[in-house]
Structure 1
Amino acid sequence: KEKPMQGEVIAVGPGKRLESGETAKMSVKVGDKVLFTKYAPDEVEVDDEEYLVIEEEKILAIVRD
């Protein structure tokens, strides 16, 4: 069994669009440390910097002090 990966949230989107047309409130916020599997994120490059993009549903846990 593989250990989860850990990362820090540096940006969040507006939230998932619900069937009702409303936007669901995000559970994570900038600065949160999160755990996720290595298969969860998509790798993207912006201005020669690599980032991981993860759907909120794929986050295993939020680690808060």
Structure 2
Amino acid sequence: MFIKGSESDYITAEYRDAITRYFPSAKAHIIEGTGHWLHAEKPAAFNAIVERTLNKSS
């Protein structure tokens, strides 16, 4: 699982290609209106994504 803030430039298009290659089953999520500290900026949205992912795994 990869979670990115829509305003963050931390994961660029070049990284996305590598992520897909090395982690073909990974899911990517974007939280709108957040930067690199998305977990602090929108904790409810971040937690919902993490909880859904963990619940699918169990």
More helix by share: 2
Give the structure-2-normalised TM-score.
0.23
Which structure ranks higher in relative contact order (CA pairs < 8 Å, sequence separation ≥ 6)? Answer: 2
More strand by share: 1
Which of these two proteins has the greater Rg computed from alpha carbons?
1
